[in-house]
Amino acid sequence: MIVMRDIVKIYKNGLLELKALDQVSLTVSKGEFVAITGTSGSGKSTLMHIMGCLDRPNAGEYFLDGEDVLACPEQKLAAVRNCKIGFVFQKFNLLPKLDAQTNVEIPLIYRGEDRSVSRERAARLLEMVGLGDRLRHRPNELSGGQQQRVAIARALIGDPPLILADEPTGNLDSRSGAEIMELFKQLNNQGRTLVLITHDQDIARQANRIIYLQDGRVIPASGGTAAKREVS
């Protein structure tokens, strides 16, 4: 699903240069549940933005589902983001004036899908994530955990092959965070490819494999092997 080779990202501030990513190479297979973790400043967010086609590296190669996305013009990249990637963010990024069902519909609205189709699919996904009775609720009428479930339904509505989750439990209490992680595991068991960005080691250990970043580089896991959990 993901192949990255020798990814370099440099930010410039006047004469100063910050190498946020330094020769990062990694792969994620279809159907994997991978956590990318590291301390603040390790390069996690930068890697997530490049992985999500929200930013471009200064050097390296990136193939997403077999496509050389770095060779794509911006218009094509927008289509890649809309069709191949579902995003789940720490701050939910829901539109406050829209109800849950309409928030979930947004990716299909951008595609120009028939509204009756998008509304029906949004309702089914909200039912799947346990919010079938909250379709007309706006974000401020939902708890943090419920808002994140809306965001997950929105990420799924376009049936993307890849889900990218950036600190998805960071704004949640421990109970809501545990519920969201169980939902991610269910999605992975259904065959979804998930990449989870987190600084929380307890959250990271719930993935099948952990990729560790430090100072913009991939480093070996403690003991030389990546942490894994058994797949039921």
- The residues, ordered by sequence, that sit 6+ positions from 124 with a Cβ below 8 Å of its Cβ are none
Q: What is the pLDDT of residues 42-92, one digit of tens each?
A: 999 899 999 999 999 999 999 999 999 999 998 889 889 888 999 998 888
Residue 212 and residue 177: Cα distance in Å, rounded?
A: 21
pLDDT at 178 over 80: yes
* Domain 2-93+161-224 superfamily per CATH: P-loop containing nucleotide triphosphate hydrolases (3.40.50.300)
Whether the predicted model's global pTM rises above the 0.95 cut = no
Classify each residue of 156-189 as buried b or exposed e, where b means 16 or more C-beta atoms within 10 Å of its C-beta: bbbebbbbbbbbbbbbbeeebbbbbbebbbebbe
- What is the distance between the alpha carbons of residues 85 and 96, in angstroms, rounded to a whole number? 23
Does residue 226 surpass a pLDDT of 60? no
